[in-house]
Amino acid sequence: MSSMKVLEGSYSGLRCAPCGKSLQPCAVELEYMGSRFNVELPACPSCGAVFIPEELAMGKMAQVEHLLEDK
């Protein structure tokens, strides 16, 4: 299954706080209310920490959350 690209722009300047490594686009699986989504987000190649920008959390992810709760 392919992952959906949900971010525009570059997050290549971000570094993982614990590891200090540069974040790289990575396919990650998000789950909410039993539904799973494969998306591409910046993540640490070492420890796997994922960065979710505020605009994504408060925008697209909030819209999906409301749609799933209305089902």
Each residue of 11-32: pLDDT tens digit? 778 899 999 999 988 888 888 7
Q: What does the CA dihedral 62, 65, 66, 68 come to, rounded to 10 degrees?
A: 160
pLDDT > 90: percent of the chain = 23
The whole-angstrom separation of Cα 28 and Cα 70 is: 25
Annotated domain spans of the chain:
4-70
Residue type, 29: E
pLDDT of residue 58: 77
Q: Which option is the CATH number for 4-70: 2.60.120, 3.30.310, 2.60.40, 3.10.20?
A: 3.10.20
**What's the pTM value of the predicted model, to 2 decimals?**
0.68
The span from the CA of 14 to the CA of 50, in Å, is 11
Which of 68, 7, 15 has the alpha carbon at shortest distance from 39?
7
